[in-house]
Amino acid sequence: MIFIILISHVNLYAKELKVAFSPSTPPYVFKNGTGITMDIINESLAVKGHTLKPVFVSIGRGFELFKDGYIDATTIIKKSSGLKAFYSDYFMQYHNAVFALKSNHYTIHSLLELSDYYMIGFQNAHKYLGEKFGKVTQKAGNRYSEIADQRRQVLKLLKGHTDIVVMDRHIFKFYKQQLIAEGKVPKDIQTTLYELFSPTKYRVSFKDKALLNDFNTGLRKLKKSGRYDKIYHYYSNQYFKVKK
């Protein structure tokens, strides 16, 4: 009888969680429910019996939905955002960089030099990429802008509509390859990558502390079992080598 009661309790506690994801960040997130980020979160939650219902929104919209209680968690947030939440252990990281057309022959050695160029960042990049970059964007004034659709970021650069873009290198490469395959840009177009940022680590923010603990437990299990690395390797083999 005790055993039955315990099983019933576990099943009653397991929840379907609405979790916010950015819709334009492959290979981390695909709208079909796959991707590095989605697999890690889905499998970490499943350890305690929870299921995932992804909500695809922009970074800013995810912030508002979480604040207003419409979702249980968001993956597109940092502690520095000021959002009141229970923050998980680090579960992944982006490798942001600066990209320009190789034909422009820019010489960029530091963040401070970026204010001289027209540049486009991902949404809230001025907050997420550190105080120094935030000051650079302020100095750049109307030469700096942000857009939520990262495919558009890449297309604007490759079409010559901006000097530089700031985004994760793997997302950039994915969209560049896609745009070439679709014939939207020349096959031989070349870009230059400038290494100016340290990896940006991300957590998941939860409304409920018990769900946070469940997620952290599942995440640790994924890492200990080797499944975490296998998720990365699967997408690396499909698309390109992922630097961890």
Residues 116-169: tens digit of each pLDDT: 999 999 998 998 899 999 999 999 999 999 999 999 999 999 999 999 999 999
Asked whether residue 150 falls in the same domain as residue 168, the answer is yes
With respect to residue 25, please indicate whether it lies within any of the assigned structural domains.
yes
Q: Which residues have CB under 8 Å from 148's CB, separation 6+?
A: 22, 24, 58, 59, 60, 122, 123
Average pLDDT over residues 1-25: 66
Asked whether residue 81 falls in the same domain as residue 131, the answer is no
Q: Between these two residues, 31 and 112, which has the higher pLDDT value? A: 112
Q: Between these two residues, 236 and 216, which has the higher pLDDT value? A: 216
Q: What percent of the chain has pLDDT above 90?
A: 74
d(Cα 242, Cα 26) in Å, to the nearest integer?
12
Query: What CATH code is carried by the domain that includes residue 102?
Result: 3.40.190.10
Average pLDDT over residues 48-60: 92
Asked whether residue 205 falls in the same domain as residue 147, the answer is no
Q: What is the pLDDT of residue 237?
A: 79
Residue type, 7: I
Q: What is the pLDDT of residue 4?
A: 42
Structural domain boundaries enclosing 165: 96-194
Asked whether residue 77 falls in the same domain as residue 14, the answer is yes
> Tens digit of pLDDT for each residue in 18-42?
999 988 899 999 989 899 999 999 9
Q: What percent of the chain has pLDDT above 70?
A: 93
Q: pLDDT category, 5, cuts 50, 70, 90? A: very low
Average pLDDT over residues 167-177: 93
Q: Mean pLDDT for the chain? A: 90
Asked whether residue 144 falls in the same domain as residue 162, the answer is yes
Average pLDDT over residues 52-63: 90
Q: What is the pLDDT of residue 238?
A: 78
Asked whether residue 216 falls in the same domain as residue 186, the answer is no
With respect to residue 216, please indicate whether it lies within any of the assigned structural domains.
yes
Asked whether residue 100 falls in the same domain as residue 161, the answer is yes
With respect to residue 244, please indicate whether it lies within any of the assigned structural domains.
no
Whether residue 23 is preceded by a cis peptide bond, meaning omega within 30 degrees of 0, is no
Which of 161, 178, 194 is a domain's end point? Answer: 194
Asked whether residue 100 falls in the same domain as residue 182, the answer is yes
> Tens digit of pLDDT for each residue in 67-106?
999 999 999 777 777 788 999 999 998 999 999 999 999 9
Asked whether residue 11 falls in the same domain as residue 63, the answer is yes
Average pLDDT over residues 35-55: 95
Which of 194, 211, 226 is a domain's end point? Answer: 194
Helix (H) or strand (E) holding 193: strand 191-194
Asked whether residue 205 falls in the same domain as residue 128, the answer is no
Q: What is the pLDDT of residue 7?
A: 40
- Total of domains in the chain: 2
With respect to residue 180, please indicate whether it lies within any of the assigned structural domains.
yes
Asked whether residue 147 falls in the same domain as residue 103, the answer is yes
What letter does residue 55 receive in the DSSP assignment? E
Which pTM value belongs to this model? 0.84
Asked whether residue 10 falls in the same domain as residue 130, the answer is no
